Structure 1
């Protein structure tokens, strides 16, 4: 601070006509100058107002003369003592203090800034996490009903309205139409008992397997249980061990509808099929699969059976188990295309009753239709033949006709179908109706699947030369089991 108005050593105040400028302060910190400069606008060229006096007795820089000062305040040397000047680092903190000093470089003091962007982002993330946690806690507190987790007001609502109708072509639709015509058979013999299945055909007859009812052939009993759980007794009309088919007549049918028979000649590999029956006594069981193969040679019967059944069967992977025997194999139209008869097992030594391994066999319905009709009309079924004896020891291609007579029979019957077509002893049969023959079982199965008086074509070999022949199969008149 200067002492331009301070009386010293007899000096008088300045008598300059122009007002004196603002006293200068030494800067105490570079930032103070910029801050004060920003406040007063000094660096913008503005006129700075004169500073207020620091205390009574200081000179007025507004333009008053020293004489006026003397008149008002008296002689300087006789006035009261002057207050001390502000300290060199004054920053204007109260009454009588000067403004902060102006920095020497003329810059502005740095203004106070808020939190940085990073801090704000971090703060926002923390707030979001806290909000999420608090929301979860709030939901838990609102929904929990004690430590046991029970809620007396909890409800899943009523079940949708029930609709058991299904399209006719679906498995469920087919089953609903066929099941009422399928029956379960409970058979008792002299010492044994068994179960099986069957289906109702025209006239109130039940078609089933011969091996299902064979136990009752010698004075046993048959109980027939219908799908509506009503039951009645039944009697054997006739049975054919050679085709493993039988017909039973129930005492009552309770208004049960007859099943629809289809055409097994229209079946092809890959067709979807449905097996229905009573496996292991579980009545009304439905399984599904496809036709796996056709003309599969199957010998059905026990090992010691003197008259086993030779079947050219429909193979299916629909599950067939003990108790399914005699039940229908139907197509997607609900038509019967086969009679379930046998299953393949891995080993007979494992168990007397093995389950399904996806290899089930059914008698074609065209063969069953013919056999059932013959049983109902005559009490027995005719067995189809071509009049030859086969060489059981032959292991080559096809099936060879025996070369020598056996058991009083000639290898080829002179008046039989094969003899009339020109076949001779030692000829090798290669094909039947274009199907390559692998062994004698397949040959017998194919011949027995034919209807009497039907024509078949045969390719055979004689002396290395292949030949063709056409013959008409006939039915042999052998005694078959009669009605019980």
Structure 2
């Protein structure tokens, strides 16, 4: 059988071996002139021998001194081994065939050769292994820049204070996600953040509303742990809610002063958009005092919103909008949608957040009493009016008079049909602009309204009254 090179897995297969010839009697002349086997054994240097004994032919017996006696039989004195044959040591007989002489090796010499071969193999294997390791270690790189920071072995790689990464690292442990199941089996999700170390968490009212009555609210902390939550209080007027969980070691986020925010400030929106928790997006404050109505007709929230181009998507609701100092300046609550769209499908670069100062006041009320209040001036507005300013209704609506008796507007001299042009010097042209501007203040605060009655225009001071939120 030929030797196949297994180092080449795609080498051609070994050619087929021809059928073995049938044994027959041969004359010495036929044997002498028979061609060699097509598959000769390789010659081994130093050991002699040209192939198997069956490939050799018998020769006439020639007496001589070159006969090699078999150790297990008595030699035939009439047989002289041919120099091209090897004696059959298994049978002890020549079988009528000539055998080639070969030098015999003593046992000690054979053992020495075996030991030497073993040593050579061990040394070669060890050297090959070391050479392989050396080549692997010294394999040329592409001369690329060496890694720095944590990749170079630093125990902790920090980012500069105020960088996006540093702010995100400080905020993320305090941001949570919500899994809410309604009483009818419906589900919703959203975001929130830790208000206090004793388990109070803030979110949007519309995030937990379905689970507040006969449903379940579950808070998932940044470490992945889940906690059943109790709804402490909520208000649809501001779209805010506070829940509480039984957990320790919570790290609250500080509430910043939203009155200090200016257009162009860098901000981060943090939350779980589309259920992808611990997501951070970056942007700027793109506008302030943007009037936003969130919710449906029965639970409309009027928000004097901070507008941002940081990506806000469904699921971000209730999560914090933070400044470069890691302070919460707003609560992400709504996103714009293209005209004609039935529902918001994703960020188009116009997101809106409830200012932190409003959040602070409302959250404190919800924690203390479970209810929130909001300021009013005591008038009904004409939604169908088209023109400059905002018009006070001329007729009662569903039994409610245009101007509430002894209310703030009545006491300030405002009458049905008057037009309110500005609040604290800021022009208003739509009803929601006036409403959100008033709700950005607090009950007991005084505001200045610019009012026109007929052709008479004047400024009046109005002290806001309080109304309980539903």
The normalised TM-score by structure 2 is: 0.67
The question of 1:260 aligning with 2:254 is answered: yes
Which of 309, 317, 326 does residue 317 from structure 1 map onto? 309
Which of 284, 290, 312 does residue 290 from structure 1 map onto? 284
CA distance in 1, matches of 2:339, 2:434: 25
How big is the shift at 1:204? 2.2
CA distance in 2, matches of 1:307, 1:228: 34
1:362 matched to which residue of 2?
A: 353
Superposition pairs of residues 290-309 of structure 1, within 5 angstroms: 290-302=284-296, 305-309=297-301
1:397 matched to which residue of 2?
A: 388
Which of 446, 452, 457 does residue 455 from structure 1 map onto? 446
What does the per-residue CA deviation read over 1:131-190, in whole Å, with 9 as the maximum and x for residues that have no partner? xxxxxxxxxxxxxxxxxxx99924358633415311221111111111111111111112
How big is the shift at 1:464? 1.7
Consecutive unaligned residues in structure 2, runs of 5 or more: 1-135, 151-155
The question of 1:166 aligning with 2:145 is answered: no
CA distance in 1, matches of 2:149, 2:320: 33
Cα 1:421/1:374, change in 2 over 3 Å: same
Contact 1:384–1:475 (Cα < 8 Å) also in 2: yes
Superposition pairs of residues 53-72 of structure 1, within 5 angstroms: none
CA distance in 2, matches of 1:412, 1:355: 41
Superposition pairs of residues 22-33 of structure 1, within 5 angstroms: none
1:418 matched to which residue of 2?
A: 409
SS in 2 for 1:260: coil
Contact 1:224–1:232 (Cα < 8 Å) also in 2: yes
SS in 2 for 1:458: strand
CA distance in 2, matches of 1:263, 1:326: 18
Cα 1:349/1:268, change in 2 over 3 Å: closer
How big is the shift at 1:431? 0.4
Superposition pairs of residues 9-408 of structure 1, within 5 angstroms: 153-155=139-141, 159-162=147-150, 164-189=157-182, 190-202=184-196, 203-252=198-247, 254-302=248-296, 305-347=297-339, 349=341, 352-408=343-399
SS in 2 for 1:227: coil
Contact 2:371–2:468 (Cα < 8 Å) also in 1: no
How big is the shift at 1:353? 4.6
Contact 1:204–1:258 (Cα < 8 Å) also in 2: no
SS in 2 for 1:471: strand
CA distance in 1, matches of 2:278, 2:413: 51
What does the per-residue CA deviation read over 1:104-125, in whole Å, with 9 as the maximum and x for residues that have no partner? xxxxxxxxxxxxxxxxxxxxxx
Consecutive unaligned residues in structure 1, runs of 5 or more: 1-149
CA distance in 2, matches of 1:164, 1:256: 25
How big is the shift at 1:466? 1.5
How big is the shift at 1:342? 0.2
SS in 1 for 2:229: strand
Contact 2:233–2:367 (Cα < 8 Å) also in 1: yes
SS in 2 for 1:342: strand
Give the alignment's Cα RMSD to 1 decimal.
1.9
Structure 1 runs (4+) greater than 3 angstroms displaced: 154-159, 347-350
Structure index of larger Rg? 1
CA distance in 1, matches of 2:267, 2:148: 31
How big is the shift at 1:452? 1.1
What does the per-residue CA deviation read over 1:452-476, in whole Å, with 9 as the maximum and x for residues that have no partner? 1111111111112220011111112
CA distance in 2, matches of 1:309, 1:329: 19
2:26 matched to which residue of 1?
A: none
Number of residue pairs matched by the alignment = 326
Deviates more, 1:313-322 or 1:219-228: 219-228
How big is the shift at 1:477? 3.7
Higher RCO, Cα 8 Å, sep 6+? 1
How big is the shift at 1:227? 1.2
2:19 matched to which residue of 1?
A: none
CA distance in 1, matches of 2:291, 2:404: 25
The normalised TM-score by structure 1 is: 0.65
